[in-house]
Structure 1
Amino acid sequence: MRIVRYVVGALCCLMGGVWLLQGIGVLPGSFMTGQSKWAVYGGLLLLVGVGLLVAGRQRRV
């Protein structure tokens, strides 16, 4: 289960980072470029990914 959290968390971080960069206009070439809602969606997905990575790292007692 820990590996699944790592993989899903990493994918969420990667996808959220791309959406965030496209939303703020740093990464051009898509319909999402310059759209602030995609920056917000990307930031939220990035936080979810970080949360999954942290949750996968914690040990169960």
Structure 2
Amino acid sequence: MKLPHVHPLKTIAQLINCHYVGPDDFPVEGFNEIHVVRPGDIVFVDHPKYYDKA
């Protein structure tokens, strides 16, 4: 899913109350499943068999 605006990964981590280590301005353009992820996306997995690929 493409987001309407690019968001820094740090901001997304803060929204979901996660600890984030990395550049403050790492850009995220969208998110997707492992099978359809594209450059600029963050990926989510819902089955243990995909954890290593993520």
User: Which bracket does the TM-score occupy, shorter chain normalised?
Assistant: under 0.3
The structure whose residues are more often strand, as a share, is 2
TM-score by length of structure 1 reads: 0.21
Q: Which has the larger radius of gyration?
A: 1
Q: TM-score, normalised by structure 2?
A: 0.22
